[in-house]
Chain A
Amino acid sequence: DAGITQSPRYKITETGRQVTLMCHQTWSHSYMFWYRQDLGHGLRLIYYSAAADITDKGEVPDGYVVSRSKTENFPLTLESATRSQTSVYFCASTERLAGVRPQDTQYFGPGTRLTVL
C-alpha cells in the first residue's frame, strides 16, 4: 500500500540493547524525519534527512543513530537503549518543491511504541 509505514508497531526491550526502528515511504519524498512523542512535550525532532546519504541532527539526537542509503527508507537505531528512551516514535516525510525548499506539510507514519525496561 502507498504511504508511510513503520515497523514494529510495538517493541519492548531491555536497557543496553540495540534497537532499530524502521520507516518506509512509497512517495519518493526527499525529506524524512524522526520524532519522539512524550506527554507534556509534544513531538520533538530527533533527526532528519534531506535526501539519500544526507542526514542532520534535530533537537534531541543523543543516543540515536540514523542512516539513509535509499530514498524510501530511514531507519532509527538506539545503540544502547535507556529507560529515558521509552516513547512513541513517529517517522514523517515531505516532498522537495522547486529548488531546495521542502513542502510545508509533513506526512506522519502510525508510530512505534517503544518500552525500555
Chain B
Amino acid sequence: QQQVKQSPQSLIVQKGGISIINCAYENTAFDYFPWYQQFPGKGPALLIAIRPDVSEKKEGRFTISFNKSAKQFSLHIMDSQPGDSATYFCAASRRWGSGGYNKLIFGAGTRLAVHP
C-alpha cells in the first residue's frame, strides 16, 4: 500500500496559536518524509523534511515529529502567522525504478488559514 493519509483537510488557527497537521503511512519502505508548502497560484515548495532515524526536526517555527512505530508524522507550526496561510502537503518517498528515483507519494493536503 502506497498511500499517505493526511488530516485535517482544513484548519483555522488564530494568530500566535499552534497549527498541527498529521500524516500516516503504511509502507515501511518509505525513508524520506518531506512537507511542502503551497501558496495560492504557486507551485509547492519544500518546507522541511525528516528521515526515520530521528524523531524530531526543527527549523525555526516549524517542527516535524516522527513516530516510526506508529507510522505517523506531523507538522507543528508554532506562533502561527497570517503569512503561514497556505496549503500544506506531507509526502513520503522510497526508492523506485531502475534509476533509483525516489518517487514522492503526496497526502491530500491541508488548507491552513491563520486569522489575525
Contact = CB atoms under 8 A, between A and B. Distances in A.
Interface in A91-117: 92, 99-102, 104-111
A58 interface: yes
A45 to B, nearest CB: 7
Dominant secondary structure of chain B at its interface with chain A: strand
A60 interface: no
Contacts of A102: 99-102
Given A108-B43, A111-B43, A45 B103 contact: yes
A74 interface: no
| Interface size of B as a range | 20 to 34
Given A41-B108, A42-B109, A104-B93, A109 B43 contact: yes
B34 A104 contact: yes
A104 B43 contact: no
Interface of B: 4, 6, 32, 34, 41-46, 49, 89, 93, 97, 99-104, 106-109
B49 A100 contact: no
A48 B101 contact: yes
Interface residues of A, number: 27
23 contacts: A4-B43, A31-B101, A40-B108, A42-B6, A42-B108, A43-B89, A43-B104, A48-B97, A48-B101, A50-B101, A90-B43, A100-B99, A101-B100, A102-B102, A104-B49, A104-B93, A105-B34, A105-B46, A105-B49, A107-B45, A108-B44, A109-B43, A111-B41
B106 A44 contact: yes
Contacts of B104: 43, 45, 106
A68 B5 CA distance: 33
B101 A90 contact: no
Contacts of A111: 41-43
Nearest to A54: B99
A79 interface: no
Contacts of B99: 50, 54, 56, 100, 102
